[in-house]
């Protein structure tokens, strides 16, 4: 039986849409609207296209369930992050949670990040060659600012599942964000202000 990630990727390919094109982006956005509320996040972690990785590697994309340590004082946080890992940090790691951007901004940001790919094969071994200094120094990466988060390993409440690079475009459009403390529309508005250099 085809996995959800495989099924969506195959459906897009069958339409003749080129990966990462504007048309493919619009198709994905419309398709996931139809799926909204029908995807069970914990079930998605069992997707055969996701690989369980106890030791995540910088530059790759991961999904997991998260319980923020200081959730009582946070304005909001995402219970089901979709993270491109940047590197280790005290007690865990730093990563870019793509859910803090609305779907169109995610697609634009991912497209810019793809310029740093380690190879063109797009497999589970592919990674993005990213460093904070690079993200912070180039205007085209400004979308990273609201996405940059520190995740504590002890607060992860599920398997850490790696998304293979050939499924990144599909994964960023899945409606799996689960914000606690605010609706996603507010989060996306706040993020837009941050990457545009406005006050939140």
Distance (Å, whole) CA 92 – CA 153: 5
What token pair was written down for 126?
């592919």
Residue 98: enclosing H or E segment and its boundaries? none
pTM of the model: 0.87
Q: Would you say 29 and 103 are in contact if contact means Cβ atoms under 8 Å apart? A: yes
Of all residues in the chain, the percent with pLDDT exceeding 70 is 97
> Is 32's pLDDT higher than 80?
no
Residue 1 has a pLDDT of 39
The band of 15, judged by pLDDT with boundaries at 50, 70 and 90, is confident
User: Per-residue pLDDT tens for 142-170?
Assistant: 999 999 999 999 999 998 999 999 889 88
Strand, helix or coil for residue 157: coil
Phi-psi domain of 4 (left: phi exceeds 0; alpha: psi -120 through 50; beta: other) = alpha
Strand, helix or coil for residue 138: coil
Nearest to 94 by CA among 6, 137, 29, 153: 153
Q: Please give the distance of CA 151 from its chain centroid, rounded to a whole number.
A: 14
Strand, helix or coil for residue 177: coil
152, with CB counted inside 10 A (0-12, 13-18, 19+), is: middle
């Amino acid at each position: 039986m085809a996995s959800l990630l495989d099924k969506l990727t195959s459906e897009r390919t069958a339409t003749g849409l080129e990966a990462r094109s504007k048309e493919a982006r619009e198709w994905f956005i419309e398709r996931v609207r139809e799926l909204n509320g029908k995807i069970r996040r914990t079930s998605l972690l069992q997707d055969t296209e996701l690989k369980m990785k106890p030791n995540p590697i910088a530059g790759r994309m991961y999904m997991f369930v998260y319980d923020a340590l200081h959730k009582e004082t946070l304005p909001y946080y995402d219970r089901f992050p979709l993270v491109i890992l940047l590197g280790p940090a005290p007690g865990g790691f730093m990563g870019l949670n793509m859910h803090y951007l609305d779907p169109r901004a995610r697609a634009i940001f991912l497209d810019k990040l793809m310029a740093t790919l380690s190879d063109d094969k797009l497999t589970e071994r592919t990674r993005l060659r990213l460093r904070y200094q690079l993200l912070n120094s180039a205007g085209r990466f400004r979308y990273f600012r609201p996405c940059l988060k520190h995740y504590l390993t002890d607060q992860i409440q599920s398997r850490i599942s790696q998304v293979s690079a050939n499924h990144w475009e599909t994964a960023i459009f899945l409606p799996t964000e689960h914000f606690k403390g605010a609706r996603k529309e507010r989060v996306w508005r706040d993020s837009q202000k941050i990457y545009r250099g406005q006050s939140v």
